[in-house]
Amino acid sequence: MKETLLMHRQPARTHFSATLWYSRLDPGTREHLAKSGRELLHLVIGYISQPPKRKQPEMQARNIGGEFRRETARLRLSLAETIETFTLHRKPLMDAVAGLLGR
């Protein structure tokens, strides 16, 4: 789990910090987005590890997805920037899922 959190932080430290839109984020917004990402990661882990209790995590994940959508619209990120953020964070998340399923 800790390794996955570090993998998620890496894109923000390296790639995002060099982008114009990321530099416009205030520390509170950065922390809020990071917290939402960690929540989503925990939901995915719960979804995989507790199959009978999947309905709740599904609804919560949809809510977080809606939050991200609203936040990227508020920040006026272009479609390309939004896709970029998604793809950079998708790989570490999928690696964590693959690791859990491989156990």
pLDDT in tens, 35-94: 888 888 888 888 887 777 777 888 888 999 899 889 889 888 899 888 887 777 777 778
Model pTM above 0.75: no
Number of compact structural domains in the chain: 1
Structural domain that includes position 71: 29-98
93 inside domain: yes
Higher-confidence residue: 81 or 100?
Answer: 81
Residue whose token pair is 């960690």: 38
Q: How is residue 95 annotated by DSSP?
A: H
37 inside domain: yes
87 inside domain: yes
62-76 burial code (b ≥16 CB/10 A, e <16)? eeeeeebeebbeeee
89 inside domain: yes
- Spatial neighbors of 12 by CB under 8 A, at least 6 apart, are 22, 30, 34
92 inside domain: yes
